[in-house]
Amino acid sequence: MPVWNPQAVGRPDVMFEAQERSRLVRAALERLPPEFRDTLVLKEYDGLRCEEIAEVLGVAVGTVKSRLFRAKLELKRHLAAFFASPSSLAD
């Protein structure tokens, strides 16, 4: 489903699905180690650049990039079962 679908606005099933997806992502974020979670939140939710994140966290830019990479891998691993396509589950 596209990000914006005018026909879906206000549909209870679409709203429930979006809320459930958001809940799953928040739960997966909570499972990340704090340094990964903080780095990912600053990047994806607060929109900071790697240099800004490094300054805020007091770490090197390379550390920020490494944490982002590892955080995304862990998040993907935690969410894989929930967002797998039905055909991939049959394999």
Q: Which two tokens stand for residue 76?
A: 């993907």
Which residues touch 43 (CB under 8 Å, ≥6 apart)? 50, 53, 64, 68
Predicted TM-score (pTM) of the model is: 0.71
Q: Which two tokens stand for residue 18?
A: 């979006």
DSSP state at residue 8: G
Look at residue 82 in the predicted model and tell me its pLDDT: 77
Kindly report, residue by residue over 35-91, the tens digit of the pLDDT. 999 999 999 999 999 999 999 999 999 999 999 999 999 999 988 877 776 554 444
DSSP state at residue 9: T
Look at residue 38 in the predicted model and tell me its pLDDT: 96
